[in-house]
Chain A
Amino acid sequence: DAKTTQPPSMDCAEGRAANLPCNHSTISGNEYVYWYRQIHSQGPQYIIHGLKNNETNEMASLIITEDRKSSTLILPHATLRDTAVYYCIVIEETSGSRLTFGEGTQLTVNP
């Protein structure tokens, strides 16, 4: 079973920041938070991951709360091409490469 909870859908206006929440209240100390997205008819695309510090790359920022029980993926300037299903996944480094996907959040960016 997935260890994360996400809203099923969200809307965002083009050009505005998209903030996607994820709850992972049972996360343990050695588990990472990963974010992937899946655009229709394509494979999942890796976005970003983190352990406890906030992370930023060219695609997005990841904000992890101090207690690590939740996180937020931020797309700073959403475009229509960011419309996709976004998956938040918690994975332990020693579990190998097994990703457990939940239902994800369908983000729709509107013009």
Chain B
Amino acid sequence: DAGVTQSPTHLIKTRGQHVTLRCSPISGHKSVSWYQQVLGQGPQFIFQYYEKEERGRGNFPDRFSARQFPNYSSELNVNALLLGDSALYLCASSPRPYSNQPQHFGDGTRLSIL
């Protein structure tokens, strides 16, 4: 069975541009979460979506937004890119939130800002 897939795997942007990252969850999983991992640190929670609605948001500016589609795939959008947005962006899926079912992660999109 396919795991969580993310695209693209690598991306280079310049300051001020915007970016869209994509995530396809494991089949049957309806909850998708996004995390940012800066080099040398653990992942930090950005968003959680379930049934196309935002169910949680971490401490990130409004430049970050996301959405979930009817097929449960998701997009993360970042506007007005800053050098500090350079990071590995991870997507995780689970059957549903508010349960003890673990999240499963994709291998991420490596975003570099020049």
Residue ranges of A at the interface with B (Cβ–Cβ < 8 Å): 2, 32, 34, 36, 41-46, 49, 51, 87, 93-94, 96-104
Contact = CB atoms under 8 A, between A and B. Distances in A.
B1 to A, nearest CB: 15
Which 3 A-B residue pairings sit nearest by Cβ, starting from the closest?
A: A101-B42, A43-B105, A96-B97
A32 B105 contact: no
A8 to B, nearest CB: 12
Contacts, number: 63
Interface of B: 4, 31, 33, 35, 41-45, 48, 55-56, 58, 90, 92, 94, 97-100, 102-108
A96 B55 contact: yes
Given A42-B107, A45-B105, A100 B45 contact: yes
Given A98-B56, A103-B42, A93 B98 contact: yes
B42 A87 contact: yes
Contacts of B99: 93
Contacts of A44: 43, 90, 92, 105
Given A44-B90, A93-B98, A97-B31, A102 B104 contact: no
A2 B44 CA distance: 11
A18 to B, nearest CB: 20
Contacts of A41: 107
B98 A96 contact: yes
A96 B56 contact: yes
A51 to B, nearest CB: 8
B95 to A, nearest CB: 10
Given A43-B108, A46-B104, A97 B43 contact: no
27 contacts: A32-B100, A42-B107, A42-B108, A43-B90, A43-B108, A44-B43, A44-B90, A45-B105, A46-B104, A46-B105, A93-B98, A93-B99, A96-B48, A96-B97, A97-B33, A97-B48, A97-B56, A97-B94, A98-B33, A98-B48, A98-B58, A99-B35, A99-B45, A101-B44, A103-B41, A103-B42, A104-B42
